Structure 1
Amino acid sequence: MNSDIALQYTDKILDSIADQLVERGYAILEQQIDAQLLTLLRQRALSFSEEHWRDAGIGREQRFQLDKKVRSDKIHWLNTSNSVETAYLTLMANLKQGLNRRLFMGLYDFESHFSIYQQGQFYNKHIDALKGRSNRVLSTVLYLNECWQEDDAGQLLLYNQEGNKIIETVAPKLGTMIIFLSEKFPHQVLAANCRRYSIAGWYRVNASQSGLIDPAE
């Protein structure tokens, strides 16, 4: 892999992300990730054969279950055995460090998976963390879809905390990333009209910490 690929966010970008998180609880980036890395991540997602993808479920550990009425995508977890996946995890570790320095969030570790939505697949409205439980604190989604058009659908809808109003509609275009407080925002993925790729991720805090921030009211 090319050693010239940028695996760090600039201070300007980190400042912008931190400011957006404080002001409204979420941040949206457009084309702020190295173009070569985006290409490699997309190629990586496209390279997986059917057996590499697993049915996505809901809940964790004992509560884990498959429910196609709630979500119908498939996933592949990132790990450090592949250089491209390692590069993305390195970039997200840099984001963790930058936000911890600026916001004292206590972000501790990060987990992430590729997602594939075939035509007609979706993920109904849900929330990534139950309020008051120090598990997922900050959610991220990076999109890997070239030449996306509005008719392709598969947009992410971000709702207000009450879940009764759409506050953002995020097009899944290559290089777009959304970062948001996990327990604050219900969200859903609209049914895709063509194959759709993304990388979802979550930062957690150490169980002994409670470094959450709240957006300004």
Structure 2
Amino acid sequence: MSAIVPFTSQTPFDKVVADIREKGWSIIDDFFSSEMVDALMGDISELDNGYMKQAGVGRSNDHQLALNRRRDYIRWIDPITPARTAFLDAMRELRLEFNRRLFLGLWDYEAHFARYEEGAFYEKHVDAFKGKSNRVLSTVLYLNEAWVDGDGGEFVLFDEHDENVELGRFFPQKGRLAVFLSEEFPHEVLKAQRTRHSIAGWFRVNNNIQNNLDPDQ
């Protein structure tokens, strides 16, 4: 276990579990300790774009670049630093809590750093198509320092029954965590006016899809 204390509360999971049960999405500030968020920001800040890759759309053999749809850089997270280890350990605890309280049958979690340079965006999309992916819950953790009005990069969440109805526009402020059902909620990232950092991740179930497991990453 990492020496970094991950949470700010003795009962960190209550609100997010209740929100997912009641409405399928949750926005929580200060879910993780400032120590861990600062350490994660330090990790991504040290990554040159040359050590990241231009994000695309689709997965495995269907993966392709689509710069008209998204323009972020990503790097998948492995437990190779204290901060990344602490984050993955914390998300494992959250996964077990979702399973214990909501019986979701989640079996793993994968995540990547995301960097949106000035002008970058990600158009409206869903993270999983019904019956075609093992992704159940999506997460986004924001790492940005001193984000202010005019910096752009807002996370926009749309209604699961009418994708033209906004549920909210959420400022990508440091330490904010978004969690939502991957198949249900369209969402987008508005154009960033300066470099924007986050961690995107997915809790998955171990279902066979056409006799194949949903591929990692």
What TM-score, normalized by structure 2, do the two folds share? 0.91
Which position in structure 1 is the counterpart of 2:18? 19
The share of aligned pairs that are identical, in percent, is: 39
Deviation string 1:32-83 (CA, Å, 9 cap, x unpaired) is: 2111101000011100122111000100111110000000110011002222
Q: Name the structure where helix makes up a greater proportion of residues.
A: 1
Summarize the Cα distance change of 1:192–1:207 in structure 2 as closer, same or farther, 3 Å threshold.
same
Residue 135 of structure 1: CA displacement? Answer: 1.1
Show CA shifts across 1:174-196 (max 9, x none). 00000000001000000000000
- Specify the alignment match of 1:129 in structure 2: 128
Moved more, 196-205 or 27-36: 27-36
Q: In the aligned structure 2, how far is the partner of 1:64 from the partner of 1:133?
A: 14
1:66-85 superposed matches below 5 A: 66-85=65-84
Q: Equivalent residue for 1:116?
A: 115
CA contact (8 A) 1:73 1:115 kept: yes
Q: Contact 1:134 / 1:205 at 8 angstroms: preserved in 2?
A: no
Q: Does the 8 Å CA contact 1:20/1:27 hold for their aligned counterparts?
A: yes
Indicate yes or no: 2:184 matched with 1:177.
no
Shift of 1:131: 1.2
What is the distance in 2 between the residues matched to 1:115 and 1:71? 11
Deviation at 1:158, TM superposition (A): 0.3
Q: Tell me how far 1:2 sits from its aligned partner.
A: 7.6
| Greater CA drift, 68-77 or 131-140 | 131-140
Instruction: Give me the whole-angstrom Cα distance separating, in 2, the residues matched to 1:44 and 1:180.
Output: 25
Cα shift at 1:12: 3.3
**What is the rounded CA distance, in whole Å, between the counterparts of 2:8 and 2:195 in structure 1?**
29
Gaps spanning 5+ residues in structure 1: where?
A: 210-217
Q: Distance in 1 between matches of 2:17 and 2:32?
A: 17
- Map of 1:45 onto structure 2: 44
Q: 1:59 to 1:2 in 2, by over 3 A?
A: closer
Quick one: which amino acid aligns to residue 80 of structure 2?
S
CA RMSD of aligned residues (A): 1.8
- Specify the code of the residue in structure 2 equivalent to 1:103: L
- The alpha carbon displacement at 1:13 in A equals 2.8
Q: 1:55·1:73 contact (CA, 8 Å) conserved in 2?
A: yes
Alignment of 1:70-109 (within 5 A): 70-109=69-108
In structure 1, how many angstroms separate the alpha carbons of the residues matched to 2:208 and 2:99?
16
Structure 1 stretch 76-85 or stretch 179-188: which is displaced more? 76-85
1:134 Cα shift? 4.6
Amino acid at match of 1:205: V
The one-letter amino acid paired with 2:122 is: Y
2:187 maps to 187
SS at match of 2:80: coil
TM-score by length of 1: 0.91
Three-state SS of the structure 1 residue aligned to 2:200 is strand
